[in-house]
Amino acid sequence: MLNFLAIPIFIVGVIKFGERTWVLRSASSEHFRDSMLQDPDPCPNYARYMEEYSSKRSEGFRYRDLKGVSKELKNMIFEQLQQKSRSASNFEACKQLCARRGDWVLENEGCLEKLGWSIDEVEFDQSNLLWHIATDICYHFDLNRNLNPDSNTNCEASKLVSNYMLYLLVMCPFMLPNGIGLIRFRDTCAEAEEFFKEKRIMKSDTKQACTKLYNVCTDILPSKVKGDRSKSVLFDACRLAKALQSLKTEENWYNQKWELMSQVWVEMLSYAANQCRWGDHAQQLRWGGELLTRVWLIMAHLGLTEQFQISEGHVRAKLIVG
């Protein structure tokens, strides 16, 4: 009987001895030092990044140099979001404001009837391309009239956001609402090349190219002439540029036009930021982050996002990750 009880006691003793030995080893200075050191950081996957870069370059795409966001643009983004935040009295109102992608600005400026088709009646990627081309055409139209658009802060902001949104469409389409943006982009480029070839315009002569595009007669809708097989938006963008230039209600319309366009671009930027999945925002932070993600964080701070809810009676936000 005694021998039978000794066996489990012996086993327990061995276990206790092992535990004490492991604790003493863990407490050693060498092991303690190793436990305090972080795991080696391999850094972002440079090889994979360069593979993506080479693939995009072979398709004809080009990465642009990084350009800082001006103080004026930062203020413009924050002021518009702050204005929306103040007007959102409840979650439903907030949800409606988050769904606006330029039409809120047009409605406030009384231009929705004339320009609303470029936003309300088309998908977001189509609207993005329309306004990008129209912004370039308007810029060179003003340049030809010696209006010095480069000195206009709203014009500068419009071009910055316009180029950035096109960059997202081509290089980071996963951060934008689902659509056929790349197909529209390629079809538009193909139609533009055909038009410039016919008019004998050099690709490098942007000024002449925009002038020729602006002078194209667009009295008949392009879709009625071409059908819908091609997804190009080139000549619809010409219609938009002419519509923007024709809204001369006052002598100071030059400044008002660029103010309107910059505000529309900011609202399109905030709409895209809100529509982007939070996981994609988090993924981009590994590579230094995007302006789109920073806008999303500002919107979350102001309570302007469908992924955050404000509990009634408490100034406290709840993140919805589902």
Whole-number Å distance between alpha carbons of 284 and 305: 19
Mean pLDDT of the chain: 81
pLDDT at 282 over 60: yes
Read off the DSSP letter of residue 227: -
User: To which H or E segment does residue 308 belong?
Assistant: strand 308-310
Whole-number Å distance between alpha carbons of 131 and 159: 10
Residue 127 CB contacts under 8 Å (≥ 6 apart), including other chains: 101, 102, 118, 119, 268
Q: What is the pTM of this model?
A: 0.76
Report the alpha-carbon angle 166-238-245, nearest 5: 105
Here the tokens at position 79 are 């002021």
Report the alpha-carbon angle 252-81-74, nearest 5: 70
pLDDT value for 223: 85
pLDDT value for 164: 95
Where does the pLDDT of residue 25 fall: very low under 50, low under 70, confident under 90, or very high at 90 and above? low
The string of pLDDT tens digits covering residues 84-110 is 988 887 888 888 888 999 999 999 999
What's at 20, amino acid-wise? R
Whole-number Å distance between alpha carbons of 309 and 259: 32
What's at 138, amino acid-wise? C
- Whether residue 137 contacts residue 237, with contact meaning beta carbons closer than 8 Å, is answered with yes
Where does the pLDDT of residue 258 fall: very low under 50, low under 70, confident under 90, or very high at 90 and above? very high
Residue 152 CB contacts under 8 Å (≥ 6 apart), including other chains: 255, 258
Torsion of CA 281, 302, 295, 256, to 10 degrees: 150
User: To which H or E segment does residue 319 belong?
Assistant: strand 317-319
Here the tokens at position 236 are 């619809």
Tell me the three-class secondary structure of 237-271, residue by residue.
HHHHHHHHHHCCCCCCHHHHHHHHHHHHHHHHHHH
Report the alpha-carbon angle 97-238-219, nearest 5: 110
Mean pLDDT, residues 35-40: 54
